[in-house]
Amino acid sequence: MDFSLSEEHIQAQKMVRDFTEREVIPTIGEWDRKQEMNPDVLPRMAELGILGINIPVRYGGQGFDYITLGLVCEELERADTTLRVIMSVHMGLNSMALLQWGTEEQKQQFLTPQALGEKYAAFCLTEPGAGSDVANLAATARRSGESYILNGEKMWISLATKAHHFLVFAKTDPDAGSRGMSAFIVTNDMPGVTTGDIHGKLGVRAGSTGWVAMQDVEVPAANRIGDEGEGFKIAMSCLDNGRYTVASGATGLIRACMEASLKYAHERKTFGQPIGEHQLVKQKIAYMQQWYDSARLLYLRAGWMKNQGQRNTRETSMAKWYATDHSVQAALEAVQIHGAYGFSDEYPVERYLRNSKGAVIYEGTSEIHQLMQADYALGNREDRPLRCELPAYDEDFWQSEP
């Protein structure tokens, strides 16, 4: 069992850390207060190759493995959650779905420009009346010759007003429950597609969150991902990948809370000594270290399993559940260590606390993951093989030209 990172892992992590420390961290508080996304973020991430970090070179990506994706997400969320959210939707939920389920033609048409950062991608599953209860979504897709006619509305969609490509889930057979769902690539320039932003969020304020509405949108049948009726399987496989990015990102948020607390614990003095010398402050910091180490090991295990081509629904669920729950706890402790200053935006920990709350809700609430883990332990749940598994990492293939 080898826990060491390769030189490629370390270099990718350093590249992202240098980028965030130089171009993101100095101004992120300002963008958070404005509740606007910095317009330079997406182009810069594209320029650095981050938006295609673990996509094969033949499809415009950088050819790194799944562990690299986790390390990158950890570094991005250490700076701010909004950057990791970009990776969750563009990479984890959309591009990796195309890598797993797309035809060669679909990969060339949609995946390649996404990996190059020429096009941005989003994931459209959640609706105003359907979140955890995915099978009851209301969006429909009616076959009409060589096209489908899509109608419906998607809500809480990250990058809704920024994305060019949407992976949309809709009912092709409304009476068939989860087996009546199919997946489609919808582009933002198709007639009948409208988008808008959601304002007034508790956290992730420097990011883009919105809605996508479709009214009689004609989508070519060639844009269907997988077979008709496979949408639920595809959505669940997407969540395995998206949850992996959330888990690794939340690990970075735990680290950010700990680093801010360590710095403040050395600087702030009470009763004649640095507060880091007080036992109860030490206890909080010790817990943060424990949470960080545990969360990191959990997501690295899931990343290793992805590299091997192994189904990792259970392991990724555990990583996501643990890391997000403890990122909230780490943020609470960081605010407590900072005292009254933690209650203001003079220090970043109040932003960490606001940002941490979203991840225990999206991509499976903590309660959903608790039920999943209990069912695995009780023997009530097992992972059946999919028609198409996420490909194992093969360096020769991933880094070879087409």
Distance CA 398, CA 135 (A): 34
Distance CA 9, CA 13 (A): 6
* Residues whose CB is less than 8 angstroms from the CB of residue 175 and which lie 6 or more positions away in sequence, other chains included: none
What are the strands, taking DSSP E only, across 252-347? 269-270, 273-274
Helix H or strand E segment including 169: strand 165-171
30 is catalytic: no
Q: Is 102 helix (H, G, I), strand (E, B) or coil?
A: coil
Beta bridge partners of 220: 147
Q: Is 121 helix (H, G, I), strand (E, B) or coil?
A: strand
Q: Can you tell me which residue has the tokens 């003095």?
A: 269
Please count the other Cβ atoms lying within 10 Å of the Cβ belonging to residue 181. 27
Contact by Cβ (8 Å): 62, 84: no
* Catalytic residue chosen out of the listed positions 218, 333, 363, 395: 363
Distance CA 18, CA 14 (A): 6
Distance CA 212, CA 202 (A): 21
Beta bridge partners of 143: 148
Helix H or strand E segment including 157: strand 147-158
Among residues 64, 142, 97, which one has the least CA distance to residue 307? 64
Distance CA 300, CA 74 (A): 11
Residues assigned a catalytic role: 363
